[in-house]
């Protein structure tokens, strides 16, 4: 039987500067260069998600953060 777990993105849970700093600190403590590089990517996504959420709250963004990220990824794939 093939069961797939749902996709998990830690970026969705890094919703404060303190959480981001703790996440980076833990990644650096591993000493694993690949994990640290992946963590920096997660942090970048978290910051994007947080900025989009702030834009939505202030009325700057008409679309939800999820819709904006989907559009960005679609545009990126179209240009490849």
Q: Does residue 4 lie in a domain region?
A: no
Q: Does residue 72 lie in a domain region?
A: yes
What pLDDT was estimated at residue 15?
93
pLDDT along the chain (80 residues), means of 10: 73 94 97 96 90 77 72 67
Structural domain total, the chain: 1
Q: Does residue 2 lie in a domain region?
A: no
Residue 26 is part of which domain span? 15-79
Q: Does residue 42 lie in a domain region?
A: yes
Q: Does residue 64 lie in a domain region?
A: yes
Q: Does residue 38 lie in a domain region?
A: yes
Within 10 angstroms of residue 22's Cβ, the number of other Cβ atoms is: 12
The Cα–Cα gap between 80 and 17 comes to 33
pTM of the model: 0.69
């Amino acid at each position: 039987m093939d069961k797939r777990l749902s996709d998990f993105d830690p970026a969705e849970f890094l919703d404060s500067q303190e959480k981001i700093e703790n996440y980076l600190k833990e990644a650096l403590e591993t000493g694993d260069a690949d994990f640290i590089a992946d963590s920096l990517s997660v942090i970048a996504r978290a910051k994007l998600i947080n900025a989009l959420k702030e834009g939505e709250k202030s009325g700057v963004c008409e679309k939800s953060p999820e819709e904006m990220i989907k559009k960005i990824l679609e545009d990126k794939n179209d240009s490849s």
